[in-house]
Amino acid sequence: MIRRGLLTGAVLGALWMLVLSITVAVAMSFATGDPFRPGAWLSLLWGSIAGGAMVVLGRGRSIQVGIFVAVAALVLAGIGPMLTGAATGGSARAFGAVLLAVGFAVSLAAILNEVRPGELTRHEFEGAVIRFLTGFGYIFFTAIVLIPFYVMVMTSLKNQSELIQNPLDFSIDLSKGIELFRSYDELFSQFNFGTYLFNSFFISVLTVFITLAFAIPGAYAVARLRFSGRAAFSRSILLIYMVPMIVLALPIYIAFSMTGLRNSFWGIVMIYPVTTIPVALYMLQGYFRGLPAEIEEAGLMDGLSRLAVIWKITLPLSLPALASVSLYVFMIAWNEFLLAFMLLDDPSKFTLTRGIASLNSSEIPRQHLMAGSVIATVPIMALFLGLERFMTKGLTAGSVKG
């Protein structure tokens, strides 16, 4: 019954209209701050009519244009799938109507491809459902990922009173020019964020080097050399990987308090690498195992010592893996919050994450908090997008540490 073409077309059309009208309404609200809202019943009604029409009349250019005109006209007339309030600007309303109408007419034709009146085969029916779910999936994931970041960036560019007046209005007044970046300017000039940025960077880079210095020999030994206790050792690496930081943080806090290492740069530099060494070791030993042992054996035959083999053969061959591991370790150190929060109290030694935590008070306007978040997010994102290939590999190899 559900596999009748007409019914499939109507149901998918109705649901798709609902998805699109919610999407466009949310997007237009976030972009302009004007009231846009999806009309659930109207969406279902008009969507099912459009879907049914497409199945019966075909998906030709003229039908698409017809649906486009109908949807746009309905929205502008105020009885369409998307409703607007009295305060909505005329051009914003027209733009929203056209956006919804174009998006719907084009994408519904793609979804209902192969759907015709009469009984559908299982393939045709499931194909249409899958295309609908795919479209929904792209919209859903893009929305949930982008909205928090969009809010973060836009909040940092506004001021408190604007935000409270209309929390949805993220439009920015470009005529303010450089004044838009006032929060950033204040963070760097009054809140010491330059120092925090430098501290974070310095600590993260040091952590990467120290981690590699420990993990490379260890990983090589586990991957290549035969010794009793090898299996037990690689298992215990995995187990150590599982001990939660908060359990370790408590005794470390006590020990650091008593030895005066709390609140010191070197205390942090000592502790960060140890949290990353097990991960790095685990990732690297996997890669070393994949390298052909014959090349190293050839080196040994030619009279190199083991250490020279590691330095001259293994390491150059594993540069991509080293890049992945370094990036991953850098990310962990850059994003680390708990230890920095517990061990650092002196504002001149804060890392970025600790600095942001100190902005979380009712006296500091929240655009500062968001500007701080943007400052912490942008470098790691830039690094990630620039080196995405290595990063993806590093994440998959690094198992599932979080």
Q: Which residues ranging from 324 to 343 are in contact with other proteins (CB under 8 A)? A: 331, 334-335, 337-338
Q: How far apart are CA 232 and CA 101, in angstroms?
A: 63
Binding-site size for other proteins (CB under 8 A) equals: 108
Exactly one of 254, 293, 295, 298 binds other proteins (CB under 8 A); that residue is: 254
Q: Considering only the stretches 11-19, 103-111, 188-196, 384-392, report the one whose residues sit in contact with other proteins under the rule CB under 8 A.
A: 384-392
Which stretches does DSSP call E strand in 119-257? none
Supply φ then ψ for residue 291, to 5 degrees. -75, 140
* Tokens coding 231: 């299996």
Exactly one of 178, 226, 292, 301 binds other proteins (CB under 8 A); that residue is: 226
For position 29 contacting other proteins by CB under 8 A, the verdict is yes
Q: How far apart are CA 258 and CA 244, in angstroms?
A: 23
Q: Which residues contact 80 (CB under 8 A, 6 or more apart)?
A: 39, 42, 46, 71, 73, 74, 97, 100
- What DSSP state is assigned to residue 191? S
What part of residues 41-70 is at the interface with other proteins (CB under 8 A)? Answer: none
| Residue pair 47/15 in contact by the 8 Å Cβ criterion | yes
What part of residues 167-196 is at the interface with other proteins (CB under 8 A)? Answer: 167-168, 170
- Pick the closer one to other proteins by CB: 70 or 252: 252
For position 259 contacting other proteins by CB under 8 A, the verdict is no
For position 255 contacting other proteins by CB under 8 A, the verdict is yes
For position 146 contacting other proteins by CB under 8 A, the verdict is yes
What part of residues 268-297 is at the interface with other proteins (CB under 8 A)? Answer: 270-271, 273-275, 277-278, 281
For position 244 contacting other proteins by CB under 8 A, the verdict is yes
- Pick the closer one to other proteins by CB: 98 or 248: 248
For position 108 contacting other proteins by CB under 8 A, the verdict is no
Exactly one of 113, 117, 173, 257 binds other proteins (CB under 8 A); that residue is: 257
Torsion (CA) 65, 67, 68, 71 in degrees, nearest 10: 160
For position 248 contacting other proteins by CB under 8 A, the verdict is yes
Q: Cβ 286 to other proteins, closest distance in Å?
A: 9
Cα dist. 289→16, 120, 129, 244, 386 in Å?
49, 52, 44, 28, 28
Q: How far apart are CA 81 and CA 64, in angstroms?
A: 17
* Tokens coding 124: 């045709």
For position 106 contacting other proteins by CB under 8 A, the verdict is no
- Pick the closer one to other proteins by CB: 239 or 319: 239
Exactly one of 14, 105, 221, 325 binds other proteins (CB under 8 A); that residue is: 221
- 181, amino acid identity: F
Cα dist. 18→5, 40, 43, 73, 288 in Å?
20, 6, 5, 17, 52
